Chains A and B, each alone.
Chain A
Amino acid sequence: MIGVLSYAVFFTTIASILAIAVLGLNLQWGNTGLFNGGVVAFFGAGAYGTMILGGTPQADHLGGFNLFYPLALLGGAAAAGILAWIVGILTLRLRHDYLAIATFGIAVTFENFMRNAETITGGAKGLRGFERPLRNWIGDGFVYNFVFLCFVLILLYAVYRFLQHLVGSPFGRLLRAIREDEEAARSIGKSPSRVRLIAFITGSVIMGISGGLYATFYAFVSPQDVLPMLTFQVWAMLIVGGAGNNRGAVMGAFVIWGAWSGSGWLLSRFAPIEAQLYTGSFQYILIGSVIVGMLLWRPQGLFPEQLVVSQSGKSGRLSREGD
């Protein structure tokens, strides 16, 4: 029984951490129409940043600043934001393909750099020497994981509330306006490229928080954690959930993470031994088919975006809401 329970805690923790990343992507893609082909780079920047800032000193690689944990996590998120700023400032003025290609490129390069720059990142062996916060008080076992899950859920809820508020605010309307008709937005004096940059950086910072939590949970991060697959998983979560809908994004994270873990378990359990080597290939095809299938048959996702009419037809309300 405790086994099932501790698996449920483990599963919910990972799914919730990924749900935060999906929420970040939803701000970029769902609300603003920005294509981020390298979610994993921003997730990874958060993970590596948190580990380097919050870890204990190590002989063979950078890090060990032993920062107070919340500061380390914020530092990781800031690292993701800086990365997003660099990519965004270069590409957001150009046609949309450039952002897709550049973000895809930065993910490849990020993983490549983490794998090779041993003196900074520990190379393929990964980063060690991170003490999970409050471990001395709570210990290492089930209780710690449960407390950590609560922490993740609180953050997930905070990010969700923040984004819900943002989407409903004038800024959210501006995002949708730019997504739907850039020219029209420009004609009323808005600057699409600046607004896009803000949305892109904000989304990436949220992905950075998600990466930081992920690294904290395992107290370890290596190039294996920042493979392109993660980008595809996060997308599949958003597309299945419904781009533009924050609740859908969170639901999608749980559905896809469940399908992913479930298919892995089924394959390891029932597939013949010589097919085990190909488990990864089957799962990749599964994720690819989910993405293509949803786009073909249900592009709005399971929980479609609820289009809000900002101003109702009643003239009385219109004058009050005029902002």
Chain B
Amino acid sequence: MIQNLTDGILVGSILSLGAIGLTMVMHMLRFANFSHAELLSIGAYSALVFDAVFAAILPVLTAKIGPLSMTWALALSMILAVGTTAISALLIDRLIFRRVRDKGSELSMVFASFGVAMIIRNAMGLIFGLGTNLYSKDIVFAVVLSRDPLLLIKPDQVFALVAALAIMLVLHLILSRTTLGYALRAVAENPALAQVNGIRLSHMIMLVWLVGGGLAAIAGVFYGLTNQISPMIGRDLVLPIFAATIVGGIGSIYGAVLGGFIVGIAANMALAILPSGYSPSVPFLIILAVLLIRPNGLFGEERA
């Protein structure tokens, strides 16, 4: 039980990072972006590529950082992956979403996002193979924190959790203390009024994609570090991430953080009761429960 709770918190931090970007996009552009989870996949795979490049040209970097299986090369790769994924998110918007947006309704965007998700996911499968990949082939042993109740934790998981929390703190500071943060929130709140105040809507949309993409890349690398990398990352994470945004209330960044942890913990705790085969269903049950009890989520406001 304690083990499930701990695992849930670790998975939760990854879901939170993904959900922050998704909730921002959903709030500002007003459509459910089913391709958001593919950004995690792009992040995980681009880090894999950069990692291989670094290992080839600068073998020094393959030294491990402390007890982690993460190497300096991977740490650098992660930073580059953040950039690549952020730019990919922007490019996808430029090439597809913006054009659909100019042309049709918000619901056409949902359709388009499904199409985009399918193209990205299967292109990944074609490029990197349908099998799974790992950043490090070495086996990292879990540290036994306590024997009764049994509690095992891998150093990588702790690192991912701490790093995710630190990133969320930075994001919080930016949103609450800077003019940029105010502008972002203003646009999400009321685009027309924000524009009257001289905020460039197109710049803010760009920013949301960049931030969302960057956070997704980090989540993807952490997911790859603590699980494995496969083209199906997007398929497996899309529903949990949506569940996190719904639990938190669409549009609420803090709600998304909390929602991620709630979904991660609930999904792992449920495994203590349900056979593990049912785990893909848990996010949907959480969504149903939230819609029954508190349809607008924990922090969401009512909006048509």
Tell me whether A94 and B100 are in contact in the complex, defined as CB-CB below 8 angstroms, given that A235-B111, A288-B118, A295-B115 are known contacts: no
CB distance from A274 to the nearest CB of B (A): 11
Determine whether B176 belongs to the interface, using a CB cutoff of 8 Å to chain A: no
- The answer to whether B116 touches A97, judged by C-beta atoms less than 8 angstroms apart, is no
- The answer to whether B280 touches A108, judged by C-beta atoms less than 8 angstroms apart, is yes
Residue of A nearest to B100 (CB): A295
In the complex, chain B residues whose CB is within 8 Å of the CB of A282: 122, 126
In the complex, chain B residues whose CB is within 8 Å of the CB of A97: 26, 30-32, 110, 250
Determine whether B292 belongs to the interface, using a CB cutoff of 8 Å to chain A: yes
Size of interface on A: residues with Cβ below 8 Å to B: 44
In the complex, chain A residues whose CB is within 8 Å of the CB of B291: 90-91, 94, 98, 102
- The answer to whether B283 touches A33, judged by C-beta atoms less than 8 angstroms apart, is no
CB distance from A181 to the nearest CB of B (A): 12
Most chain B beta carbons < 10 A, residue from A106, A287, A291: A291
Residue of A nearest to B284 (CB): A105
In the complex, chain B residues whose CB is within 8 Å of the CB of A299: 100, 103-104, 108
- The answer to whether A113 touches B114, judged by C-beta atoms less than 8 angstroms apart, is no
Interface of A is mostly: helix
Cβ-defined partner of B115 (8 Å) among A105, A115, A292: A292
Residue of A nearest to B236 (CB): A108
Determine whether B239 belongs to the interface, using a CB cutoff of 8 Å to chain A: yes
Cβ-defined partner of A281 (8 Å) among B111, B126, B285: B126
Most chain B beta carbons < 10 A, residue from A93, A288, A296: A288
Cβ proximity bits B114-126 to A, threshold 8 Å, 1 near / 0 not: 1111110111011
- The answer to whether A112 touches B280, judged by C-beta atoms less than 8 angstroms apart, is yes
- The answer to whether A113 touches B281, judged by C-beta atoms less than 8 angstroms apart, is yes
Tell me whether A109 and B106 are in contact in the complex, defined as CB-CB below 8 angstroms, given that A102-B291, A288-B115, A291-B112 are known contacts: no
In the complex, chain A residues whose CB is within 8 Å of the CB of B66: none
CB distance from B14 to the nearest CB of A (A): 19
B211-258 CB contacts (< 8 Å) to partner A: 238-239, 242-243, 246, 250
CB distance from A137 to the nearest CB of B (A): 42
Cβ proximity bits A285-323 to B, threshold 8 Å, 1 near / 0 not: 101111110011001000000000000000000000000
Cβ proximity bits B17-38 to A, threshold 8 Å, 1 near / 0 not: 0000000001000111010000
In the complex, chain B residues whose CB is within 8 Å of the CB of A116: 275, 277-278
CB distance from B251 to the nearest CB of A (A): 10
Determine whether B287 belongs to the interface, using a CB cutoff of 8 Å to chain A: yes
In the complex, chain A residues whose CB is within 8 Å of the CB of B107: 29, 33, 35, 96, 100
CB distance from A205 to the nearest CB of B (A): 21
Residue of B nearest to A235 (CB): B111
Residue of B nearest to A118 (CB): B277
Most chain B beta carbons < 10 A, residue from A98, A235, A278: A98
7 interchain residue pairs of minimum CB distance: A288-B118, A291-B115, A105-B284, A292-B115, A288-B119, A97-B32, A281-B122
A-B contact pairs, 21 of them (CB 8 A): A90-B291, A90-B295, A91-B291, A97-B30, A97-B110, A100-B32, A101-B242, A102-B291, A104-B239, A108-B239, A109-B284, A112-B277, A112-B281, A232-B114, A235-B114, A277-B130, A278-B130, A288-B116, A288-B119, A292-B115, A296-B96
